Amino acid sequence: MTLKIFVLLAVVTGVLGNTNAAAITGADPTEQTTRVPQDNTVTSGEFVGESAEDDVMATGELNTNHYPANRAAKVVQHYLNTRYGSPCRLFGLQRVHRGNAEETAESGRKYELEISVQEVISNSTAKCSAEVLFAIGGQSPPDVQTSSCEDISKINTTAQEEALYQQYHASNSLMSAESLPDSYGHIDPDLKPLWHLGSVASSFVMLEESTEDTLYNMAQVANVTQLKTENDQLKFNYHVLLHDMVSQEILHWKLLVTWSPAGGVNVLQREQMPKCHECEKPPNAI
């Protein structure tokens, strides 16, 4: 199991290139952006690792290639997925154009961002302005406010969602899959909607768990099983693997997820599984 996860992370980390990240002298090779297989999602941020001195939480205008701006921007990505995501619509962070941070003595630390996000399936891009507030002590989830994201609502996936829903709802057999992607980075085209849905559901967890000291990416759907339901909501049990790029931990979560075109994606139950200490430190990206 340990070897399998190591191989998976090496594949996941190395498939896509980072086209806009600038090289920084003395960068830690372990602090690289996790990528997922092409056509399944996009790069998780246009940034590279930096030295400990550069990683100090700065105020004022931020270097958009450094972690502080991109950690906050990733939170916006997860927020957009919880609001607009579906098996047919999945958002990834494409680029941070501008970032500013300020200390708010009573509330915490606030980031103002201008970012580009990409809807992975249609390959559509939209720019967003957002504010992210990390509460003092990190005891509550970050608060996210977005504006100027009108292009996101124009991405119409109604027809695709209705067709997929009818396919899953009318099928005589319940869907199931494991290892999405597999150790070679491959996902069968028929199973990609399950990967997309798992990625959206994982954004609910990553949004709740994010702090200024984390940087979460979706790594793998270990397994997923469709459940019987008596209402119009499709229901799934997911076991997902999340990768915190800062601690290099692989976190296992069980999720009970429902979806329908009318009701959207909802995570009814979430449970973090015991840590696999042998799996916490993936090898350096190659």
All structural domains of the chain with their residue ranges: 2-279
Q: Helices in 16-118 by DSSP H: which ranges?
A: 67-84
Quick check: 270 and 253 in contact, CB under 8 A? yes
pLDDT reported for residue 279: 52
Buried b (16+ CB within 10 A) or exposed e, 243-278: bbbeeebbbbbebbbbbbbeebbebeebeeeeeeee
192-209 and 67-84 helices cross at what angle (nearest 10)?
A: 120
Q: What is the pLDDT along the chain (286 residues), one digit of tens a residue?
A: 444 444 444 444 333 233 233 322 222 322 333 333 333 333 333 344 444 344 556 789 999 999 899 999 999 999 999 999 999 999 999 999 999 999 987 788 999 999 999 999 999 999 999 999 999 877 799 999 998 886 787 889 999 999 999 999 999 899 999 999 999 999 999 999 999 999 999 999 999 999 999 999 999 999 999 999 989 999 999 999 999 999 999 999 999 999 999 999 999 999 999 876 555 444 332 2
Q: Give the CA radius of gyration of the chain.
A: 18
pLDDT reported for residue 107: 83
pLDDT reported for residue 160: 97
pLDDT reported for residue 32: 31
Q: Backbone phi, then psi, for 253, in 5-degree steps?
A: -130, 140
Residue 225 CA to residue 107 CA, distance in Å, equals 41
3-state secondary structure 132-179: EEEEHHHCCCCEEEEECCHHHHCCCCHHHHHHHHHHHHHCCCCCEEEE
pLDDT reported for residue 56: 55
For residue 162 the two structure tokens come to: 């209705």
Q: What is the pTM of this model?
A: 0.80
CATH architecture, range 2-279? Roll (3.10)
Query: Coil, strand, or helix at residue 254?
Result: strand
